[in-house]
Amino acid sequence: MKLAVIGATGMVGRVMLEVLEERNFPIDELLLVASERSVGKSMSFRGTDYKIIGLEDAVASKPDIALFSAGGETSKLWAPKFADAGTTVIDNSSAWRMDQDIQLVVPEINADRLSLTDKIIANPNCSTIQMVMAIAPLHKKYKINRLVIATYQSISGTGVKAVKQLENELAGIKGEMAYPYPIHMNALPHCDVFEENGYTKEEMKLVRETQKILDDRSIAITATAVRIPTSGGHSEAVNIEFESEYDLSEVRQILNNTTGVVVQDNPDVNVYPMPIYANGKDDVFVGRIRRDESRPNALNLWIVSDNLRKGAATNTVQIAEYLLANNLI
């Protein structure tokens, strides 16, 4: 197994390496790939130092799998080159997610759609992954008609520049700004750029990607995405309207029995999901499970997960694991 990590020096790339090591992913040869300014530098993996190489050298090496986390422009240009060389690309950017010929995969939900012909596979957006992990089994049971979503997203979803902005603000240092406003003691209803309809790209990702993953374009979805000054973990308030009546105890049972989902829901003793506890974990945590008394067949959930792990790196590695386990490489 020859595996390449594209964008190895970035936030998600580094977490990918951590996850590969933790899960003991079988690697005979590892290629760490980054931009030209990082080529020649060293990074450690499983106690061994590896020299960072450039994209051209990586393509020429013809890895079996390439895990991409280097931004959409890099993925658009280079993923097809790897695929043409016989490499299976698992891409963490938004570049390929809505391409009708590319599978958008959360392994627990729809990995069975993958085949040997899928040489570029898209990893969904972080906020989408954690939500569909919780709602997919409920959709299967009750059919979802509508979703109303409000997200509370960590600055780590923006990248190193945003983390540095918060650190500078906490230290009283004037520095480079990732956002148009301060983020410390603030909340910005502005994740990614605004589209013509007045929604941000992040909000529309929740709409389009959810429909694609669940293979149901009939679900009506609206979202507001907010950036908050937490260093790790996204939170979401999700209101669900089902087609049919549901039983609240059965909802809890379904969620309890869903692999990768952990129910934390005991308000009597202040037990509910929070990003401070999800940080560094691979599970999706669900709590505040309660009936929406204002609408028939409606339910409220509070969903929290580490956006750099299950929301990005872990989901990517899990796709690679599925490909190996099912002889799709």
Q: Clarify whether 184 is annotated catalytic.
A: no
Task: Tell whether the torsion through CA atoms of 241, 243, 244 and 247 is positive or negative.
Answer: negative
181, 228 in Cβ contact below 8 A? no
- Residues 6 or more apart in contact with residue 3 via CB below 8 angstroms: 20, 25, 27, 29, 30, 31, 63, 64, 65, 66, 67, 320
**234 catalytic, yes or no?**
yes
Which active-site residues does the annotation give?
126, 234
